[in-house]
């Protein structure tokens, strides 16, 4: 007996509506062949083996077996929405980028918010940095501002990124913790990386447990350039300011919410947008020239430093509105490919070594994750302006040159040509120096801005930072790592260091840490670092 023989009382006419009736769409295979029975595989007799003839079964299972693609190596858990960016005024004085030439110009946008450390199925309210990645589909190609909700970063040089990410993710032998930084490897790396201290203050603050994506700031982090039609450069830092203001939850709320609803941030964005309550952010720019950069207390190329807003107030230049959820999570949110190197003419890079490393990295990661050089053919990644090039073939090529011409120059008078006028020209910055592996001495002060951040917090916020550090370090089993971290806190704020040391029950107060990078001697395993202690 097959399922069709069973008369179940539900659906059409009181019976289970399992097969097509007049007017219904007929189920097909991926090849378009109509399917007669999707409930029973083809077999020899009711209790016999399956037969190889069953191409529908084979195709269905084959496709299902290949549904997963690799999750992002970082920022695996994310949630996106569509919307638009609208300018307030022309910024032609600063940039020739088409989207900034006219007031009230609208550019379609897709934004993906994310956590960094957790895997694709982890909880939304982890204590973590949040990604804030914006894709603007401009008339001169896609512009991706791939930022975070914290304006600084853990490291100054992209060559440290794999170490940093290995350290924060689950430990390779035990495979946990999966979604948080409270473990020995992370704090070992951090305590050996003084440049991370400013970021650590932000990550241990309320900023790292936002109430929802709608109450979060976004930052481009690095210094970029804007280039105007005369070829003049202005340095710029990008900030997204939420119209709803900034709100966070406290740790014990986050822990409960994670247990009750790990999709809390997703649900919040979905419900808000579906009910017409569209979240909005203002794009604000910190614009400055070379003279400002030369006179500023810190190096503007150092991604572990900010330019305080009271020193250089951000100028609001437009608004970002999110007003439509994706039709399909996988097709849009999962397959969207952000890349810092996607910039239109009129936007350019600075020599921030982290930014330059990122510009190198993102193309590779998209190829690995999406599996084909043709990932730009996916609708979510394709430009929304006219585009013409001679790239062809490769896996899953959806668009190929039409006709004979697939190169230029050619004698057939066909196809696109490069344009020195309209095309992207890199800002002709003059560079000199010896090729060497080095880091600028101007990047060396790792504590002043960490201290500035800490003392800018209200007393309850400062207590939250102390409590966060205590919780995190209490999960660290190796005492020398706890002590080393407290020795960095001594350089930031003695009362914070003392509070954390007391909460952890440290036997004695360590002295202030050296800001120098660790030497080979520092890294030699001491008896207290031995595996036995863990
Ligand atoms: C993904 C931000 C540094 C490599 C992302 C995403 C964001 C982001 C927001 C998620 C994009 C999405 O939603 O799809 C940042 C920021 C950084 C930073 C703000 C520092 C200021 C780096 C560095 C590297 C790097 C230094 C490597 C050298 C990656 C990779 C992904 C990623 C490989 C996964 C991309 C994917 O598979 O789609 N980053 N990142 N990031 N980032 Fe970064």
| pLDDT, tens digit (0-9, with 9 covering 90-100), for 133-187 | 999 999 999 999 999 999 999 999 999 999 999 999 999 999 999 877 899 999 9
Per-residue pLDDT band at 520 (split at 50, 70, 90)? low
* From 56, 75, 198, 464, active-site residue: 75
Q: List, in sequence order, every residue forming a beta bridge with 142; answer none if it has no partner.
A: 137
> Pocket of ligand 1, candidates 113, 265, 362: which has the most ligand atoms within 8 Å of its Cβ, to mutate?
362
How many CA atoms are closer than 13 Å to the CA of 3, on its beta-carbon side?
11
**Angstrom distance (rounded) from CA 262 to CA 243:** 25
Q: What is the pLDDT of residue 456?
A: 98
Q: Are the C-beta atoms of residues 340 and 363 closer than 8 Å to each other?
A: no
Portion of the chain with pLDDT greater than 70, in percent: 94
Q: What is the pLDDT of residue 423?
A: 97
C-beta 240 within 6 A of ligand 1: no
Looking at the CA of residue 369, tell me the nearest atom of ligand 1.
37
**Angstrom distance (rounded) from CA 488 to CA 512:** 6
Q: Are the C-beta atoms of residues 312 and 357 closer than 8 Å to each other?
A: no
Q: Are the C-beta atoms of residues 322 and 278 closer than 8 Å to each other?
A: yes
**Angstrom distance (rounded) from CA 193 to CA 154:** 9
Per-residue pLDDT band at 521 (split at 50, 70, 90)? low
Q: What is the pLDDT of residue 19?
A: 86
Q: What is the pLDDT of residue 7?
A: 41
C-beta 207 within 6 A of ligand 1: no
Rounded distance from Cα 74 to ligand 1 centre (Å)? 7
Rounded distance from Cα 70 to ligand 1 centre (Å)? 15
Rounded distance from Cα 308 to ligand 1 centre (Å)? 24
Per-residue pLDDT band at 10 (split at 50, 70, 90)? very low
Per-residue pLDDT band at 522 (split at 50, 70, 90)? low
The average pLDDT across 77-106 equals 98
Q: Are the C-beta atoms of residues 361 and 161 closer than 8 Å to each other?
A: yes
Residue 196's nearest CA partner among 153, 159, 157, 161 is 153
Say what the ipTM of the complex is: 0.95
Q: What is the pLDDT of residue 302?
A: 98
Mean pLDDT (the chain, rounded) = 94
Helix axes 459-474, 479-492, angle to 10 degrees: 160
Query: What residue numbers does the annotated binding site cover?
Result: 72, 112, 161, 358, 362, 369
Phi-psi region of 403 (alpha: psi -120 to 50; beta: other; left: phi over 0): left
Supply 22's token pair.
Answer: 């007049």
What is the model's pTM? Answer: 0.94
Query: What residue numbers does the annotated binding site for heme cover?
Result: 72, 112, 161, 358, 362, 369
Q: List, in sequence order, every residue forming a beta bridge with 319; answer none if it has no partner.
A: 86, 282
C-beta 114 within 6 A of ligand 1: yes
Supply 156's token pair.
Answer: 């100054």
Q: Which is more confident, 189 or 4?
A: 189
Neighbour tally for 235: CB within 10 Å: 19
Active site residue 4: no
Supply 194's token pair.
Answer: 């003084």
Supply 392's token pair.
Answer: 């062809």
* From 82, 142, 148, 183, active-site residue: 148
Q: What is the pLDDT of residue 532?
A: 35
How far is the CA of 350 from the CAs of 385, 468, 515, in angstroms?
26, 34, 26
Active site residue 75: yes
C-beta 146 within 6 A of ligand 1: yes
Q: pLDDT tens-digit profile of 298-327?
A: 999 999 999 999 999 999 999 999 999 999
């Amino acid at each position: 007996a097959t399922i069709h023989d069973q008369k179940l009382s539900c659906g059409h006419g009181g019976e289970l509506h399992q097969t097509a009736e007049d007017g219904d769409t007929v189920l097909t295979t991926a090849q378009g062949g109509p399917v007669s029975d999707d409930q029973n595989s083809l077999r020899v007799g009711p209790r016999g083996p399956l037969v190889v003839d069953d191409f529908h079964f084979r195709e269905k299972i084959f496709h299902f077996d290949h549904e997963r693609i690799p999750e992002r190596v970082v920022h695996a858990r994310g949630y996106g929405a569509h919307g638009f960016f609208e300018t307030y005024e022309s910024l032609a004085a600063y940039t020739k980028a088409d989207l900034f030439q006219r007031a009230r110009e609208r550019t379609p946008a897709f934004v993906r918010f994310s956590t960094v450390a957790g895997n694709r199925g982890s909880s939304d309210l982890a204590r973590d940095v949040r990604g804030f990645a914006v894709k603007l589909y401009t008339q001169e190609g896609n512009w991706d501002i791939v930022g975070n909700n914290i304006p600084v970063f853990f490291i100054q040089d992209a060559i440290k990124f794999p170490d940093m990410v290995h350290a924060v993710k689950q430990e390779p032998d035990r495979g946990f913790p999966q979604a948080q930084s409270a473990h020995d490897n992370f704090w070992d790396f951090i305590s050996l990386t003084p440049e991370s201290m400013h970021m650590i203050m932000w990550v241990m603050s309320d900023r790292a447990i936002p109430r929802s994506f709608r109450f979060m700031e976004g930052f481009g982090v690095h210094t970029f350039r804007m280039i105007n039609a005369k070829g003049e450069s202005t340095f710029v830092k990008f900030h997204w300011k939420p119209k709803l203001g900034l709100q966070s939850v406290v740790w014990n709320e986050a822990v409960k919410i994670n247990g009750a609803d790990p999709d809390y941030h997703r649900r919040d964005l979905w419900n808000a947008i579906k009910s017409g309550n569209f979240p909005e952010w203002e794009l604000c720019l910190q614009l400055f020239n070379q003279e400002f950069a030369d006179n500023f207390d810190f190096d503007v190329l150092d991604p572990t430093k900010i330019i305080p807003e009271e020193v250089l107030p951000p100028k609001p230049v437009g608004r970002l509105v999110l007003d439509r959820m994706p039709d399909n999570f996988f097709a849009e949110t999962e397959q969207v490919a952000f890349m810092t190197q996607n910039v239109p003419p009129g936007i350019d890079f600075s020599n921030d070594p982290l930014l330059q490393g990122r510009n190198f990295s993102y193309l590779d990661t998209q190829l690995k994750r999406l599996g084909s050089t043709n990932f730009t053919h996916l609708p979510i990644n394709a430009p929304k302006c006219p585009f013409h090039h001679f790239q062809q073939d490769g896996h899953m090529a959806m668009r190929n040159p039409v006709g004979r011409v697939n190169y230029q120059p050619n004698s057939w008078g066909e196809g696109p040509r490069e344009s020195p006028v309209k095309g992207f020209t890199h800002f002709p910055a003059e560079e000199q120096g010896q090729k060497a592996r080095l880091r600028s001495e101007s990047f060396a002060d790792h504590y002043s801005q960490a201290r500035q951040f800490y003392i800018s917090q209200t007393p309850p916020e400062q207590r939250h930072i102390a409590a966060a550090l205590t919780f995190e370090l209490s999960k660290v089993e190796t005492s020398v790592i706890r002590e080393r971290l407290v020795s960095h806190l001594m350089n930031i704020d003695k009362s914070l260091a003392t509070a954390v040391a007391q909460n952890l029950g440290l036997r004695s107060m360590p002295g202030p840490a050296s800001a120098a990078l660790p030497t080979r001697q520092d890294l030699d395993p001491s008896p207290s670092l031995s595996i036995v202690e863990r």
